[in-house]
Structure 1
Amino acid sequence: MPDQPLPPGTRVRHVGQQWARAATATIRSVDGPYPDGSYEYEVTAGQDFSRRTGPDNPETRTTRWNSRTVRPAAGSVS
């Protein structure tokens, strides 16, 4: 698990997605930590959750992901 919390603006992916390294969402805000040590991220994701984002799948859907299910996309965290 990456160091938490990841900052807003970080490009991320959900562990349940097929794109092992591609970004499928962007963190917009962070809540927590919660008693179990986790955080909750509000992210914008593509309308088609199963594909990476881009011109044909813009990030127009807002959702919330638990930090235990979020991984930074390749090259997204400095």
Structure 2
Amino acid sequence: MAEEKQMENLFNQLVEGKSIYELDARETKGLLKLFDVKQSKLGKRKKQFNEQVDDNVLNKTGANDSIAGGENDGHP
């Protein structure tokens, strides 16, 4: 966890203008590892978000709202 925090600080330094060419091999590898961790976390959040959206769509669509049997022109 401490290493991840160090890499986040290093990343912030890069955002603020530090040259990537100033990094040594250990720092570069650490940043790559940090990016993998962040990408994994983002993938999990994306999946959770999509599941929430799917649940909301299913909850708002009732059986009577289906048009599977033909066009729904508003008449029973």
TM over 0.5: no
Which structure has the highest helix share of the two? 2
Q: From the CA coordinates, give the structure whose radius of gyration is larger.
A: 2
Task: Name the TM-score class by shorter chain.
Answer: under 0.3
* Greater RCO (Cα-Cα under 8 Å, separation 6 or more): 1
Normalising by the residue count of structure 1, what TM-score does the alignment of the two structures yield?
Answer: 0.23
Normalising by the residue count of structure 2, what TM-score does the alignment of the two structures yield?
Answer: 0.24
